Amino acid sequence: MAALMSVSSRSLTHPALAQPVQLITLDNGNGLTATLSTLGAGIWSVTQLDESGTAAELVLNYQDPAQWATNRYYFGVTIGRVANRIAAAAFKLDDKLVKLSANEGRNQLHGGPDGLGSRFWQYRVEQLADSVAVIFSCHSADGDQGYPGNVALEVCYRLNRDNELSIDYYASTDKLTPLSLTNHCYWNLAAKPGADVLGHTLWLNAGYTLQVDEQLVPDGNLLAVAGTAFDFQQAKTIGRDITQLANGYDHFFVLNHFLPDHFALNHADKQQPQTAAVLSDPASGRVMEILTTEAGIQFYSGNFLDGSLNGADGLPLTKFAGLCLETHDYPNAVNLPQFPSVLISPAQPYRQCTIYRFYTKRSG
């Protein structure tokens, strides 16, 4: 008889943290758990039972809880109001210049220096016959990090018995404003101390990537990936072509069903989640599929993990120790009219869904 699904919680306190962090664990009774955090409405842990019955940790975390106070690497958190980079931390809206808080040189990264990932969110839990969930909520005030409009946000993490962890994002506003949310979890399916992700195999349903400038900000041009180091249309190991790049992957891949000429121009018309990526670790056989309603995926290979901090296993977090596959809309779209709009309005709220599906592929 299958084990029952369950929801449990515990509180984490630390002098470096402004208040206790509530950690809520969803267990699907089928060997998969997800622990979510009220700090940043984030993913703290995802474990999958291996053949020996040991819970293998699939995401990166800090050894020292104090590191969550600054979270230099954005581990696991909900990113917003606008994910990725906005050039010059500014954009025009109704012919008026909106100036944002800069936090990466002159640009804004991941919503600013005090973005949504650094907030403490409220939460409630839900237990249904076929799934368990935690729903986080918070309010972002008019002028937050420079953005117009009061925005009410909900992020729902749901785990079902089919080993699917879904994230549903909802937001409403009282003014026209940009919004593009994502999760910044670092995955490593090897679940082995000291293992990097270069041996992982990745497939992306993307024929184009966005060209970026020297500050990694998209300039408005799409580049065909065929025949380049960015071509993951046939699954390949992440390490195969990475040496062709200056520092690794940190690029937005446009999913084939969301190219600009047939992208639904408003969030209400987004399609059902489409298969976007498949990540696998050949050594363990673990596989993670990603389905999303979003336009693309920022694939980041952990280039800036510099070994100065330790992970939960006590070892230094070094370059390529984990990777991010961040589903969201076109970055810097607020400054590039040829890109699909990321504006929401009182009449047009924000919705996004991304699903992570886990299984093990047996060798032989």
Catalytic residue annotation: 184, 326
The helix/strand/coil state of 118 is: helix
Q: How far apart are the C-alpha atoms of 331 and 339, rounded to whole Å?
A: 9
Q: In what order do the strands lie in the sheet with 55-57?
A: 6-12, 21-27, 32-37, 42-49, 55-57
Positive/negative CA dihedral, 205, 349, 110, 215: positive
101-126 burial, b if ≥16 CB within 10 A, otherwise e?
ebbbeebbbbbbeebbbbbbbebeee
Concatenated DSSP letters for 282-304?
TTTTEEEEEEESSSEEEEE--TT
Count Cβ atoms within 10 A of the Cβ of residue 10 and give its class: 0-12 exposed, 13-18 middle, 19 or more buried.
exposed
- φ and ψ at 30, to 5 degrees? -130, 25
Angle at 138 between CA 144 and CA 266, to 5 degrees: 75
Concatenated DSSP letters for 173-235?
ESS-EE-B-EE-PPB-TT--TT--STT-EEEE-EEEEEEE-TTS-EEEEEEE-TTSTT--SS-
